[in-house]
């Protein structure tokens, strides 16, 4: 009996200490993660007011991005054994990742297919990381609470565009007639002319990103051949005409560019004589009055000053609530949680032009084989993580944009642009 009692006692102690050890491992892993997360958050404080002008995604695997092109080439001559991948938590927008390159030789087709494969896997990896339950509980500066339905995005492009049209038929701007601005100088500063009049229509439109991959692209003439050209923030054309063109019809500016003196919003000729849309985010459930009283950045003072100094410039403020309508659309068509920050200027540009353009070409919005760690085509800032986003839900945006893309793989990943049809080019049922 004594031996049995001792054995039971030893067994109970082993179970107890085993459970304690297991719990300790769980907690140590959790606190290790939280410590790293806190360090990342502290590092973000060093960026400009928490909202970077560059769409960063911080990871500890920069070499994968830096050498994606090289790995794509190596894949042509190496044939490793196929390994079964775990089933992703979200559906693919491309059931097969082989290249559909038209009139390409075998070498180019393999190179493009390998690059496309790795890029899409990378985008999914970012989505998976951003959907982490710990991150989604912590990173919610705009108090987002999404309760919408989940819809499949694994549908033909025209059906996805029909849903887009139903959700965002147009992009509203501040008119000055809203009750929030009745006693504000903004009321009298808003132009009588709309940013884009209802009757304005363009056959083909270009959205030009700020990507460093545009260097050496020789896309300038093609970009300038479009009826309308949209650019972002303080991206210049002078000196870069060969790669990005010289034509600008519309410029979308975030509130940092408008409010910070070093961007010279009130003096730079870049911001005059064209259509300009300025945006500043509000909280997910904010009213216009709440946003006016507490914007992210003071866009109203420089807006009024600019309108008085340059009355011929068609300058408008975005109704910030539409940003969250766009965010809802992205989340509804993404099967994992996305970053709870407003969409990027690029995705806003798509929504702005869809009602007015038969075809929209987005240049280097989806990375091509020229992808580089250089953030912008107009400066020397190098960061291997500039492609996938840390503030905007950029990975989700790009996967959704690829689902609406009509171009073949050679055009998308080699030439460097995707094409999305405008609302007038599709037929939607009731």
- Residue-wise pLDDT for 81-140, tens only, equals 333 444 444 444 443 444 555 567 788 889 999 999 999 999 998 888 887 755 656 778
H helices of 227-314, where? 241-244, 255-259, 288-293, 300-309
* Residue 153 to residue 90: CA distance in whole angstroms: 10
- Which residues on neighbouring strands pair with residue 278, listed in sequence order? 253, 317
Four-CA torsion 151, 157, 163, 164, nearest 10 degrees: 110
By DSSP bridging, strand 250-254 and strand 275-279 are parallel
| CB contact at 8 A, 168 and 325 | yes
Q: What is the DSSP string of 370-424?
A: T--SB-BTTS--B-TT-SS-SSS-HHHHHHHHHHH--S-HIIIIII-EEEEE-GG
Angle at 62 between CA 233 and CA 25, to 5 degrees: 120
Give strand ranges (E) for 80-212. Answer: 202-208
Q: Which CATH superfamily is domain 137-425 in?
A: Glycosyl transferase family 29 (3.90.1480.20)
**pLDDT for 207:** 98
**pLDDT for 33:** 60
CB 222: neighbour CB atoms within 10 A? 16
Reported pTM: 0.79
By DSSP bridging, strand 275-279 and strand 314-317 are parallel
- Which residues on neighbouring strands pair with residue 361, listed in sequence order? 206, 419
The domain limits of the chain are 137-425
- Let me know how long the chain is: 430
Q: For residue 83, which phi and psi values (nearest 5 degrees)?
A: -115, 140
In whole numbers, what is the pLDDT of the chain averaged over residues? 83
pLDDT digits 0-9 by tens, 250-298: 999 999 999 999 999 999 999 999 999 999 999 999 999 999 999 999 9
* Residue 248 to residue 88: CA distance in whole angstroms: 41
Residue 323 has pLDDT above 80, yes or no: yes
pLDDT digits 0-9 by tens, 345-400: 999 999 999 999 999 999 999 999 998 888 888 888 776 556 666 678 899 999 99
Exposed/middle/buried for residue 309 (C-beta within 10 Å: 0-12, 13-18, 19+): exposed
| CB contact at 8 A, 302 and 265 | yes
**What percentage of the chain has pLDDT greater than the value 70?**
78
**pLDDT for 199:** 95
* Residue 191 to residue 316: CA distance in whole angstroms: 7
pLDDT digits 0-9 by tens, 65-74: 444 443 443 4
Structure tokens that stand for 351 in this block: 């929504």
Q: For residue 86, what is the DSSP state?
A: P
Structure tokens that stand for 60 in this block: 């500890």
* Residue 249 to residue 122: CA distance in whole angstroms: 33
Structure tokens that stand for 366 in this block: 């989806």
User: Residue 9: how many CA atoms within 13 Å on its side-chain side?
Assistant: 6
CA distances from 367 to 123, 135, 375 (A): 11, 26, 12
Nearest residue to 376 via CA among 274, 234, 168: 234
* Mean pLDDT (whole number) for 168-188: 96
Greatest extent of the chain over all pairs of C-alpha atoms, in Å: 99
Residue 44 has pLDDT above 70, yes or no: no
């Amino acid at each position: 009996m004594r031996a049995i009692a001792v054995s039971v006692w030893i067994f109970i102690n082993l179970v107890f200490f085993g459970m304690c050890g297991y719990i300790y491992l769980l907690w140590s892993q959790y606190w290790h993660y939280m410590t790293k997360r806190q360090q990342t958050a502290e590092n973000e404080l060093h960026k400009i007011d928490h909202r970077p002008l560059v769409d960063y995604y911080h990871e500890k695997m920069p070499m994968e991005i830096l050498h994606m092109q090289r790995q794509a080439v190596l894949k042509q001559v190496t044939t490793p054994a196929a390994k079964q991948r775990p089933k992703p938590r979200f559906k693919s927008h491309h059931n097969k990742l082989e290249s559909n390159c038209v009139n390409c030789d075998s070498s180019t087709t393999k190179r493009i297919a390998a690059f496309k494969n790795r890029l899409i896997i990378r985008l999914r990896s970012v989505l998976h990381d951003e959907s982490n339950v710990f991150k989604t509980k912590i990173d919610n500066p705009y108090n987002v609470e999404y309760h919408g339905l989940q819809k499949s995005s694994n549908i033909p492009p025209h059906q996805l565009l029909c849903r887009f049209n139903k959700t965002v038929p147009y992009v509203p701007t501040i008119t000055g007639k809203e009750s929030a601005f009745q006693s504000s100088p903004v009321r009298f500063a808003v132009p009588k002319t709309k940013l884009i009049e209802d009757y304005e229509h363009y056959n083909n439109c270009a959205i030009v990103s700020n990507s460093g991959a545009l260097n050496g692209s020789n896309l300038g003439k093609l970009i300038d051949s479009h009826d309308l050209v949209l650019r972002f923030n303080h991206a210049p054309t002078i000196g870069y005409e060969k790669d990005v063109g010289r034509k600008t019809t519309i410029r979308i500016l975030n509130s940092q560019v408008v409010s910070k003196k070093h961007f010279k919003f009130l003096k730079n000729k870049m911001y005059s004589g064209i259509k300009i849309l300025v945006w500043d985010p509000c909280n997910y459930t904010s009213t216009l009055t709440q946003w006016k009283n507490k914007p992210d950045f003071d866009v109203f003072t420089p807006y009024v000053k600019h309108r008085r100094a340059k009355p011929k410039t068609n300058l408008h403020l975005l109704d910030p609530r539409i940003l969250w309508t766009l965010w809802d659309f992205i989340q509804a068509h993404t099967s994992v949680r996305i970053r709870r920050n407003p969409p990027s200027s690029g995705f806003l540009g798509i929504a702005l032009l869809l009602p007015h353009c038969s075809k929209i070409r987005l240049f280097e919005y989806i990375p091509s084989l020229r992808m580089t760690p250089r953030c912008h085509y107009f400066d020397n800032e190098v960061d291997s993580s500039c492609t996938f986003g840390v503030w905007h839900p950029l990975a989700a945006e790009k996967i959704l944009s690829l689902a609406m893309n009509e171009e073949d793989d050679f055009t998308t990943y080699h030439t460097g642009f995707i094409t999305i049809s405008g609302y007038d080019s599709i037929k939607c049922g009731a």
